[in-house]
Structures are given as C-alpha cells and as structure tokens.
C-alpha cells in the first residue's frame, strides 16, 4: 500500500522519546521529510544525525517555544503536512504520593494534554489553509483506568481535546486522531492481559499505527481513539 507520505513534511514532537523515535524512523522509510522536535538540544541533535533528519528545539509546555519552533520549520520547509505529538513526561514520573493533590493533577494535565493543545492549535491554521493535514496524539489506555488519577485524567483530557479539535476541522482535509497504547515494550508476544488490564504492544507496532493515521489512506478516519495492544480486557467502552 502506498501511504502517500513521499515528500510530506512531518513534525514529530517528542521525537527523542521511544515512540517518537520509532515513528520518525518509519516516516523516513516512507519517504517523508521528517523534523524531530524535543526540549533537549543535545539529545535532539544526536538523534537527528543518526536518522538523517532535521530537528528543532520545542518545549510543548511553553507557548513562545511552540510558536517559534513551528515558524522555524515553516521557514525551512514551507509547510507542515503531518504532526505526531508524543511529548509528555513518562507516567513513571507521576508521584503516587501526590496523586490526589490538585496541584499535581494540574501539572500532569499541563505536561501532556495542554502540550498537545498548544501544538495542535498552532498548526491547524496552516493545515486548514493548505486543505490537508494529519495530527496524531499519543495518549494511553490508562485514560479508562483508575489506578492513577493524574495518569488517567491527563490522558482522558488529551482524548477530549483531540476529539473537539477534530470536530472543529471536519471537512477541511485535516484529520486528528489519538493512539492509546497499553504497556509498550521493545518486543512482545502479545500474551492475554488480565481482566481489566490493557495488552502489550511494541514501539514499532505503536509507530506503525501512527504512521498509517498520518497517511493519505487514512483520510476517512478522524476524531478516533485507537488502542494498540489488546484494548482493556473485559471492558466495552
């Protein structure tokens, strides 16, 4: 299948993370012009050299940084066709001892959900004007679990933001979707998860779904949340 990504300009925010880097590799293999973005300039430059891609420093928690980075990519490449938004502190950084604190919850939402919102809303005017765009966010199946309030709410908020934005640009040629992984590993044999738990997927599998959603072939898919790994066993919604 031709995904129609040849020469498309793809911005991968959180590009130095495991999912972001795996996605960047697959986008390169599909012929896209890839720009990886992250906060750590040294790590960013090293990975960009390894992959043979462009890079830009971007802090999704800072409005000025988002605007500056997007303007820089537009100046270099003329457009941004695809955006993959994976930037967020790992769930392991959330403090269980502070899980019910309002301040901790706000930090978690800002670090993931609002980062997605900042980047997506900065890109949408350019994409709608061009009549084409693909935005894919990475959330997680923990959005439907109650094991951690901060983890659940930050993912659930991202999902709601993505659906709201997708609805706002329906019919413009721009699609917005979310990928919801369960546990992500280097490799997995996909064992059956316990009831009420999500199944495993590999970084490459998550990236493959993301790349498909950025493609011309996925033009009819928007406003969706799609799980990787078996979706929560025994849970319908």
What's the pLDDT tens digit per position in 57-98?
999 999 999 999 999 999 999 999 999 999 988 777 788 888
- What average pLDDT does this structure show over 200-215? 95
- What average pLDDT does this structure show over 25-51? 98
In this prediction, residue 85 carries a pLDDT of 98
β-partners of residue 55 are: 36
Rounded to the nearest 5°, which phi and psi values hold at 227?
Answer: -80, 145
In this prediction, residue 202 carries a pLDDT of 92
Q: Which of 75-84, 105-114, 194-203 has the lowest mean pLDDT?
A: 194-203
- What average pLDDT does this structure show over 40-68? 98
The Cα 19–Cα 88 span in angstroms is 11
What's the pLDDT tens digit per position in 117-145?
999 999 999 999 999 999 999 998 878 87
pLDDT band at residue 146, thresholds of 50, 70 and 90?
A: confident
Question: Across the chain, what does the average pLDDT equal?
Answer: 93
Sign of the C-alpha dihedral computed for residues 122, 14, 88 and 191 taken in this order? positive
What pTM, to 2 d.p., does this model score?
Answer: 0.94
Q: What residue has token string 């992959």?
A: 51
- pLDDT of 237 over the 70 cut: no
Q: What residue has token string 């983890």?
A: 151
Q: Domains along the chain?
A: 9-228 (3.40.50.720)
Question: What tokens does 145 get?
Answer: 């679990």
In sequence order, what DSSP letters do the residues of the chain get, joined into one string? ---S-TT-EEEEETTTSHHHHHHHHHHHHTT-EEEEEES-HHHHHHHHHHHT-EEEE--TT-HHHHHHHHHHHHHHHS---EEEE-----GGGS-GGGTT-HHHHHHHHHHHHHHHHHHHHHHHHHHHHHT-EEEEEE--GGGG--S-HHHHHHHHHHHHHHHHHHHHTTTTTEEEEEEEESSEES----PPPPTTSPPPEEHHHHHHHHHHHTSGGGTT--S-EEEESS-STT---
């Amino acid at each position: 299948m031709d995904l129609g990504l040849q020469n498309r300009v793809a911005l991968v925010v959180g590009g130095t993370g495991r999912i972001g880097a795996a996605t960047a590799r697959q986008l390169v293999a599909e012929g896209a012009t890839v720009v990886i973005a992250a906060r750590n300039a040294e790590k960013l430059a090293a990975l960009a050299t390894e992959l043979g891609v462009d890079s830009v420093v971007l802090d999704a928690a800072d409005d000025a940084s988002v605007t500056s980075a997007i303007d820089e990519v537009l100046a270099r490449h003329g457009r941004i066709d695809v955006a993959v938004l994976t930037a967020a502190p790992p769930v392991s950084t959330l403090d269980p001892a502070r899980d019910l604190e309002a301040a901790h919850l706000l930090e978690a939402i800002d670090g993931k959900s609002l980062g997605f919102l900042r980047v997506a809303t900065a890109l949408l005017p350019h994409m709608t004007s061009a009549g084409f765009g693909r935005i894919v966010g990475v959330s997680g199946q923990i959005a439907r679990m109650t094991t951690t309030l901060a983890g659940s709410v930050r993912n659930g908020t991202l999902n709601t933001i993505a659906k709201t934005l997708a609805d706002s640009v329906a019919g413009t040629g721009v699609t917005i979707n979310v990928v919801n992984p369960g546990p992500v590993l280097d490799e997995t044999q996909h064992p059956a998860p316990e009831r009420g738990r999500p199944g495993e997927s590999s970084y490459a599998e998550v990236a493959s779904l993301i790349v498909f959603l950025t493609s011309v072939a996925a033009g009819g898919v928007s406003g969706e949340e799609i799980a990787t790994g078996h979706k929560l066993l025994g849970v319908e919604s």
